[in-house]
Amino acid sequence: MSPIPSLPADGFGGVPAPWPKIAMGQWFTERARRDGGRQALTFEGRTWTYAEMLADIDRLAGALRAGGIEPGTRVGYLGFNHPMFFVALFACSKIGAIFVPLNFRLAGPEFEYIINDAGVHTLLVDTDHIAVIDSVRDRLHCQRYLCAHGQPADPARWPGAAEAMAAATPVSEAHQPHQDDVAVIMYTSGTTGRPKGAMLTVGNFWWNHVNELVMLDMRPDDVLLTFAPVFHIGALNVLTLTNFLKGAHMVLHRGFDPGLALRDIAAYRVTTIFAVPAMLLFISQHPDFASADTSTVRTVMCGGAPCPEPLLHLLDQRGILVQQGYGLTETAAMATALSSEWATAKIGSVGVSPLLTDVCIMTADGQKVTEPHARGEVCVRGMNVTRGYWNQPEATRNAIDTEHWFRTGDVGYFDEQGFYYICDRVKDMIITGGENVYPAEVESVLFGHPAVAEVAVIGVPDAQWGEAVVAVVALKPGSQLTLDDLRDFATERLARYKVPKQMRLVDALPRNPTGKVLKYKLRET
């Protein structure tokens, strides 16, 4: 028998091995080549197959390349939910560019800072947001502007992406990246100071997909409804991209409309949904909720904020299985999730870490918490965690320690079975009379009052107690509520130091586009 010849050190005859097809532009191309006839995306009555989406992706990739986009160049996108968002995302990946999705709720100066900080070369903007960009355009450093879709009032200043795509040579073969190459720069909300651009790599996205495929019940015949804004990591990378990876069908809404959501659940036989708690609340309060056909919905993934337990019980009684999860922009979405078999038994928990990610609770001095129910800061480590913040090495060092733990700024604990619970943001914790009060716990109780439609709990300076617990309440139509009524209700369910000392009534709570309550605005009033 001849001896087995020894291989060169690299194992491939001296030729470097190509990276596996883990970049978004690569795997979408492969999915479309295998299942081109399957329905990929439906938007406002029109459906694209995987083959049709790929054709648009390849044409836009060609138009971007012809306009000077190279691997590592930044491409910005500003607009409401639209198929073109995903075409641009996959097109950027296909040529190795870095995609920069922008929060459409920002003002001109905020766009100016982010676009220039990211060094955006080409900016795609839908017609609804051209005016706000025009207000700061003379201060932007972009080299090319394209109207993403629709008819701009001034085509000379805003040439159409469709025309550029029609004139371009399509890109058929995808760029071969390293898994540590940055794929997306996603800016945090910036509620304190300037927003930071989290650098999410090819590998961050891929390993998040793998975590979801291993942990969640995702099927190729699923119909996913997406109405949360896809510039946000939750709507983009919880279910949505992995849904495409599986070859499933997505119904995309331009924005969140609870009545339309209920109608399309029935019309398209929706099986899976991602939502933040506020969206589930508004759906449950819609007049059509009681009569709507939601029988096809197998699961709802809920994240972005702690979900009030009374709402979870209400949906559970309706047969809607809500799987809570927890994650951040910096973790490419999934840090923990509650699997379907535990969704009812562990209501209120955000589950456990997925297979390829570690989670722990740390004290302020960096020691790991080992006792159940002991509270500390939630820390995450894994292949899905950002490599850092764009242009901000100091912020990166402050957020990620030498052992690669990312400090989330959230307070949490785990129970005897290892299931995690999120209490609140570290900065939102209230210290009253020397006792720690976690607003999410109080909010969950107050939400159970029959007069309360929405509630947020904040701390305000108090000469006697240091901070006083304040409930900011929006009432259900026709309802009335006094502070004494609210305190009587809360006293039966909470320790007295957690019971609100003040109440403020508002028409509605201020929220960002993802449904999170803007507590800093409440503190300013």
Q: Say how far apart CA 237 and CA 101 lie, in whole Å.
A: 13
189 band by pLDDT with thresholds 50, 70 and 90: low
The pTM of this model reads 0.84
Q: pLDDT per residue over 475-484, tens digit each? A: 999 999 999 9
Residues 349 and 331: beta-carbon distance below 8 Å: no
H helices present in 15-82, as ranges: 24-34, 50-66
pLDDT confidence of residue 365: 87
The end-to-end CA distance of the chain, in Å, is 85
**pLDDT at res. 435:** 73
Q: What is the reported pLDDT for 180?
A: 95
CATH for 24-177? 3.40.50.12780
- Predicted confidence (pLDDT) at residue 34 exceeds the cutoff of 80: yes
Give the span between the Cα atoms of 157 and 243, in whole angstroms: 36
Note the pLDDT of residue 523.
84
Range in 234-238, 392-396, 436-440 the model is least confident about: 436-440
- pLDDT for 143-169, tens place per residue? 999 999 999 999 999 999 999 999 999
200-426 matches 24-177 in CATH topology: yes
Is a pLDDT exceeding 60 seen at residue 47?
yes
Averaged pLDDT for residues 513-522:
79
Q: What is the pLDDT of residue 16?
A: 54
Ramachandran area for residue 468 (φ above 0: left; ψ -120 to 50: alpha; else beta)? beta
pLDDT at site 276: 87
Q: What's the confidence (pLDDT) of residue 188?
A: 85
State the pLDDT at residue 520: 79
**Which tokens in the block code for residue 90?**
């996959």
SS (H, E, C) 306-335: CCCHHHHHHHHHCCCCEEEEECCHHHCCCC
Q: Where are the domains of the chain?
A: 24-177, 200-426, 429-524
The rounded distance, in Å, linking the Cα atoms of 306 and 423 is 8
Q: Is the model's pLDDT at 275 over the cut of 60?
A: yes
Give the helix ranges, DSSP H, for 318-406. 393-399
Of 65-74, 123-132, 220-229, 341-350, the range with the lowest mean pLDDT is: 341-350
Helix (H, G, I), strand (E, B) or coil at 380: strand
8-state DSSP, 143: S
Residue 171 has pLDDT above 70, yes or no: yes
- Identify which has the larger pLDDT, 466 or 43: 43
pLDDT tens-digit series, residues 197-254: 999 999 999 999 999 999 999 999 999 999 999 999 999 999 999 999 999 999 999 9
Exposure of 59 by Cβ count < 10 A (0-12 exposed, 13-18 middle, 19+ buried)?
buried
What's the CA gap between 85 and 314, in Å, rounded? 34
Q: Which of 181-195, 224-238, 305-319 has the lowest mean pLDDT?
A: 181-195
Dig out the tokens for 164 from the structure: 């550029």
pLDDT digits (tens, 9 = 90+) for 97-120: 999 999 998 889 889 999 999 999
Q: Which fold has domain 429-524?
A: GMP Synthetase; Chain A, domain 3 (3.30.300)
Read off φ and ψ for residue 69, nearest 5 degrees: -80, 130
- Least Cα distance to 124 among 169, 177, 86 occurs for 86
pLDDT winner (highest mean) among 112-116, 314-318, 467-471, 514-518: 112-116
pLDDT at 511 over 90: no
Q: How many CA atoms lie within 13 A of 43 on its CB side?
A: 18
Here the tokens at position 8 are 């060169």
CA–CA dist 61, 57 (Å, integer): 6
Q: pLDDT > 90: what percent of the chain?
A: 75
Which of 117, 73, 115, 116 is CA-nearest to residue 93? 73
pLDDT of residue 10 exceeding 50: no
Look at residue 8 in the predicted model and tell me its pLDDT: 46
Domain 200-426 has CATH 2.170.120.40: no
Output the average pLDDT for the chain: 91
Out of 200-204, 355-359, 371-375, 425-429, pick the least confident. 425-429
Say what angle helices 277-284 and 258-267 make with each other, to 10 degrees.
80
Q: Would you call 440 helix, strand, or coil by DSSP?
A: helix
Q: Which residues contact 432 (CB under 8 A, 6 or more apart)?
A: 459, 462, 465, 466, 467, 468, 469, 497
pLDDT higher at 402 or 438: 402
